[in-house]
Chain A
Amino acid sequence: MAIWVDNDTRLVVQGITGREGQFHALGCRDYGTNVVAGVTPGKGGQSVEGIPVYDSVAEAREATSCNVSMIFVPPPFAADAIMEAAAAGVELVVCITEGIPVADMLKVRAYLEAHPTRLIGPNCPGIISPGMAKIGIMPGHIHEPGKVGVVSRSGTLTYEAVWQVTNLGLGQSTCIGIGGDPLPGTNFIDTLAAFADDPATEGVILIGEIGGSAEEEAATWVKENLDKPVVGFIAGRTAPPGRRMGHAGAIISGGKGTAQAKTQALTAAGITVAESPAEIGVSMARALEK
């Protein structure tokens, strides 16, 4: 078992004829993901290494019953691509594209309220259920099927945590990067709720960073709803206030959103917070032994 993606995943890649889109579509297929279609407007009828390309997501869905989409469309057009996938009835959309304007994401949010589609991202590494399906840009080989669920706002820091978990022999059920943008389609709580219901997930690693209040809200939810062990880490305790550290999300303002405030909230909810990023995996192993 896993959450959201598994052996039933039938993937369509939007933006498959671009350099990144093609590279990662093939990377996902090499990992074992069932990549059934690609979409690039105006390039319908072509094929990318045997993957058929369609002009629209609706045509791709009609022809291949694709149920998950991965988006590599450039930022000015990415919001439209997300809404197109939702309109075609795709159940899960994973948007890798970085740099989508906030105003465009406000439109996407309003549009998705009227559709059952789940969006992961944008500006995220994607989602992987090791041994079953990889939808994203993460290196597949550092993962192992197992019992730890990982949810994170970061990309490479997630790889770091995953690698620690793999080396300890615990493995992962599903790993999700929800992305560092201010308006993520899927948040910590959505993911934690899915992990709560997943019998394969025995413990959860939650990796947050400074800015916003998503970690604080997640902490409250965990306290009231989750009886599996959770280990947390907050990146950016040394970041100076008011400076942006790469992710649009990592902005501290006033007393809210600091690493200290988030650590306190997580600790108060019974979550073990790793002091050092090198101790995320070990902390999880200890929490699972209890």
Chain B
Amino acid sequence: MKIHEFQAKEILRRYGVATPRGQVVESAAEAAEICRDWGGRCVVKAQIHAGGRGKGGGVKLAGTPEEAEAIAASILGMQLVTPQTGPEGQTVRKVLIEEALDIASELYLSVTLDRASGKPVLMASASGGMDIEEVAAKDPDAIIRETIDPQLGILPFQARSVASKLGLEGSTGRQAAKLIGSLVTAYLDTDASLVEINPLLITGEGGVVALDAKMNFDDNALFRHPDIREMRDLAEENPLEVEAGKYDLNYIKLDGEIGCMVNGAGLAMATMDIIKLFGGEPANFLDVGGSASEETVQNAFRILISDETVKAVLINIFGGIARADRIANGVVAALQETPDVKLSGVVRLEGTNVEQGRKILQEANYDFIVAKDMADAAQKVVAAAKGGV
């Protein structure tokens, strides 16, 4: 699960991480007021879940409260397009108004899971800011890495060593080491999957402040963090994905024209791949799960056909625990719900109870194109989407 920058800073402050003074607002008038509180100069920051906001014009410095008001008015409600939002962008509903600090240098800090070692890792770099990914790609050695023992947390000597490698000395070094410790504690305590500070600011007076903050969480651990679960902002998520989540469906909206319904994540990805191989574009990823019930499938199919970009649908089911007859019943029930559906549907069923499943589909009042295997199914659905059937 993702949260907003202002929420991440709220959590990190509880762990003693210094951040600029700030207040989140939803109107331009409030922005001017808060800017006055911060002494007349402030930074206006769009609050959306995607990164790269600065590059898209979602972060701006205001020299006066009036300017803050004008900037907030232009950012609030805009479709902010960043390298992480996709071309349609994301609507800005909130802005964070923060005091403007003087910048001596910008560093990078993050904590995440290193799958290779099977342990959390702290990553740091003296070159923070907007181009950290470029730094990481061009010069991986410029990234300082410190493996963390999850039972012990980061040890003080490790934090001191990172601060020293970042070139921080004296009081600044001590503050940085303390902040690193707090960051790792926050990561472990909250079951985060990522904590990222980019940039970590060194002020003119040698202070160490988290100028930006990003936190993602392990969805599987949210059951023990009700306070974090409440921070979820459904407005930031695709409405079809939110709807799918209610039924425990794994659905991700994509840009193509062929709707897919598959059981199992690996087979679902492979189905998207084979569609592309035959010249089509998948409209979504949809995994109905290993043990899909008739009801799940019915909901899944309804979501699939409510996507207006879908021109043809491919159902690819390899029944294991999910029995093919149950899947077929779900599809038929969804079709009865929406009798005016005019899409071509290609079905490939295999595995447990496949004969019963095929029979149910054949007897339904709808012309399914039946495919004999995966390649056949992909070819047929691509042809159907292009109007060949």
Chain A positions near chain B (C-beta within 8 angstroms): 20, 24, 75-76, 99-104, 106-107, 109-110, 125, 137-139, 141-142, 152-160, 163, 180, 182-183, 207, 209-210, 212-214, 217, 233, 235-240, 242-248, 250, 254-255, 259, 275-279
A193 to B365 CA separation, bound complex (whole angstroms): 53
B290 in contact with A212 (CB, 8 Å) = no
Residues of B within 8 A of A277 (CB): 267, 270-271, 273-274, 374
Q: Is the interface of B mostly helix, strand, loop or mixed?
A: mixed
Residues of A within 8 A of B137 (CB): 254-255
Chain B positions near chain A (C-beta within 8 angstroms): 84, 113, 115-116, 118-120, 133, 136-137, 150-151, 188, 191, 193, 218, 220-221, 223-224, 250, 252, 254, 262-277, 282, 285, 287, 290-291, 318-321, 350-352, 373-375, 378
How far is the CB of A104 from the nearest CB of chain B, in Å?
Answer: 8
B269 in contact with A156 (CB, 8 Å) = no
A246 to B289 CA separation, bound complex (whole angstroms): 9
A163 in contact with B282 (CB, 8 Å) = no
Task: Name the contact of B264 in the complex, choosing from A101, A156, A217, A255 (C-beta under 8 A).
Answer: A156
Residues of A within 8 A of B269 (CB): 157, 209-210, 235-236, 238-239, 245, 250
Question: What are 28 residue pairs bridging A and B, where the CB atoms are less than 8 Å apart in the complex?
Answer: A76-B223, A101-B191, A102-B113, A102-B218, A102-B220, A139-B352, A141-B352, A156-B262, A156-B318, A157-B267, A160-B374, A163-B350, A183-B113, A183-B118, A209-B269, A213-B116, A214-B115, A217-B116, A233-B270, A235-B270, A236-B273, A246-B287, A254-B133, A277-B267, A277-B273, A277-B274, A277-B374, A279-B375
A156 in contact with B374 (CB, 8 Å) = no
A183 to B188 CA separation, bound complex (whole angstroms): 16
Known: A154-B266, A277-B270. A139 touches B285 (CB 8 A): no
Known: A137-B321, A160-B267. A155 touches B277 (CB 8 A): no
Residues of B within 8 A of A101 (CB): 191, 218, 220-221, 224
A37 to B320 CA separation, bound complex (whole angstroms): 24
Task: Closest A residue to B272 by CB, please name it.
Answer: A238
Known: A236-B269, A246-B265, A246-B287. A142 touches B252 (CB 8 A): no
Q: Report the 7 A-B pairs with minimum CB-CB distance, sorted nearest first.
A: A154-B266, A246-B265, A156-B264, A157-B266, A101-B221, A278-B375, A277-B270
A139 to B223 CA separation, bound complex (whole angstroms): 32
A155 in contact with B115 (CB, 8 Å) = no
B193 in contact with A102 (CB, 8 Å) = yes
How far is the CB of B313 from the nearest CB of chain A, in Å?
Answer: 17
Residues of B within 8 A of A99 (CB): 220
Residues of A within 8 A of B220 (CB): 75, 99-102, 248
Task: Name the contact of B266 in the complex, choosing from A209, A212, A237 (C-beta under 8 A).
Answer: A209
B113 in contact with A245 (CB, 8 Å) = no
Task: Closest A residue to B319 by CB, please name it.
Answer: A139
In the complex, given contacts A102-B221, A159-B351, A235-B267, what are 15 additional A-B residue pairs having Cβ atoms less than 8 angstroms apart? A138-B320, A155-B267, A155-B290, A156-B320, A159-B318, A183-B118, A235-B270, A236-B270, A236-B273, A237-B276, A238-B275, A239-B285, A254-B133, A254-B136, A276-B277
A214 to B267 CA separation, bound complex (whole angstroms): 19
Residues of A within 8 A of B277 (CB): 275-276
A279 to B268 CA separation, bound complex (whole angstroms): 16
B375 in contact with A180 (CB, 8 Å) = no
A103 in contact with B273 (CB, 8 Å) = no
Task: Closest A residue to B255 by CB, please name it.
Answer: A240
How far is the CB of B61 from the nearest CB of chain A, in Å?
Answer: 28
A237 to B134 CA separation, bound complex (whole angstroms): 23
Residues of B within 8 A of A250 (CB): 265, 269
A156 in contact with B273 (CB, 8 Å) = no
How far is the CB of B286 from the nearest CB of chain A, in Å?
Answer: 9
A13 to B252 CA separation, bound complex (whole angstroms): 35
**Max chain B C-beta neighbours (<10 A), residue from A139, A236, A237, A238:** A238
B290 in contact with A246 (CB, 8 Å) = no
Residues of A within 8 A of B150 (CB): 103, 106-107, 110
Residues of A within 8 A of B268 (CB): 245-246
How far is the CB of B152 from the nearest CB of chain A, in Å?
Answer: 10
B374 in contact with A278 (CB, 8 Å) = yes
How far is the CB of A71 from the nearest CB of chain B, in Å?
Answer: 15
Task: Closest A residue to B189 by CB, please name it.
Answer: A103
Task: Name the contact of A243 in the complex, choosing from B252, B350, B373 (C-beta under 8 A).
Answer: B252
B320 in contact with A155 (CB, 8 Å) = yes
How far is the CB of B122 from the nearest CB of chain A, in Å?
Answer: 15
A156 to B282 CA separation, bound complex (whole angstroms): 19
Residues of A within 8 A of B351 (CB): 139, 142, 159, 163
Task: Name the contact of B118 in the complex, choosing from A109, A139, A209, A210 (C-beta under 8 A).
Answer: A109
A106 to B116 CA separation, bound complex (whole angstroms): 13
A125 in contact with B270 (CB, 8 Å) = no
Residues of A within 8 A of B264 (CB): 154-157
**Max chain A C-beta neighbours (<10 A), residue from B264, B272, B374:** B264
A213 in contact with B115 (CB, 8 Å) = yes
A166 to B270 CA separation, bound complex (whole angstroms): 20
Residues of A within 8 A of B275 (CB): 238
A235 to B42 CA separation, bound complex (whole angstroms): 47
Task: Closest B residue to A280 by CB, please name it.
Answer: B270
Residues of A within 8 A of B290 (CB): 125, 137, 155-156
